[in-house]
Amino acid sequence: MQHFLKSYFKFLLNSKNEHGVHSPFVFDLVTNCFYDETNYYEYENIIDYKKSLIEDKTKINVTDFGAGSRIFKTNRREVSKIAKIAGISTYRAKLLFRLINYFQPSTFLELGTSLGIATYAASIALKNTKIISVEGCRETSQFTSNKFLKCFNLEQLENIDFINSEFEIFLHDFDKSSFSDTDWNMVYFDGNHSKVATLKYFDILIETTTNKTIWIFDDIHWSKDMEEAWEIIKRHPKVTVTIDTFQWGIVFFRKEQVKEHFIINPNKNISSYIFERIRI
């Protein structure tokens, strides 16, 4: 926790808003996406789904493939507590919706389904785009896919594939033939928050990147190891623009951009937004 707080205060000292951004591409992203104050009707859908999880007392056996939990002392966990403590926050789910809605990627890959809050945010932003969500834990994957079947109609689920697999196995084995000549347009990395695993996934996927590829890494300040992984990612020669929003590291591969790193508070009005919850 001490490392987390120290990293956060360092972030606050160095972060900027749109007035400190001189890149037209990043300036437009910050003003028209990060700071978009539109009250999208989809937000209510996200809130309702998360509320249904918070009210769910089902217990599941969670298999941790990554760095484990700072909060939970046992692998048998109640869905409501996972949603409150470990699931993506409502604020971040809304931001993810805006990012996806803004860029409209042609394919979306999520590594780490968990309870499907981010998956749902992606699905309502990309109604006609293929979404693949991979979860390593069998019981978590089963619970979430069944929850979607109960909560949503078949039309809403047509573009989502839930896959139970360890990430590395999936990335090596998945047949992308159904995507014709396109690769993963947007990847959301939200599982196994360790330096070794993060860089392994990075190395596997780096050859699939195009000029339009966008990667979002969750919990880049979760530990010293994750911060080291983030620094290595930033320095990679294929990476051009990176944005540190504290919770997420967003990576672009736009060849027309000068290599540049930005530290941006995605909340225009509340500097303490990160304390909306403490991640495990």
Q: What is the pLDDT of residues 267-278, one digit of tens each?
A: 876 544 444 444
Local mean pLDDT, 10-residue blocks, the chain (280 residues): 83 83 92 96 96 95 66 77 89 96 95 96 90 95 94 81 94 65 81 92 93 96 95 98 96 95 83 44
**Under 8 Å between Cβ of 117 and 53:** yes
What dihedral do alpha carbons 242, 262, 229, 205 form, nearest 10°?
Answer: -10
| pTM (predicted TM-score) | 0.91
DSSP calls for 71-130: S-SSSEEEHHHIIIIISPPHHHHHHHHHHHHHH--SEEEEE--TTSHHHHHHHHH-TTSE
Domain limits for position 148: 2-276
The CATH number of whichever domain residue 214 belongs to comes to 3.40.50.150
- Degrees, nearest 5: CA angle 179-182-183: 95
Question: Contacts from 175-181 at CB under 8 Å and sequence distance 24+?
Answer: 178/130, 179/107, 179/130
Task: Categorise residue 31: left if φ over 0, alpha if ψ from -120 to 50, beta otherwise.
Answer: alpha
What's the number of domains the chain is made of? 1
pLDDT for the residue numbered 176 = 57
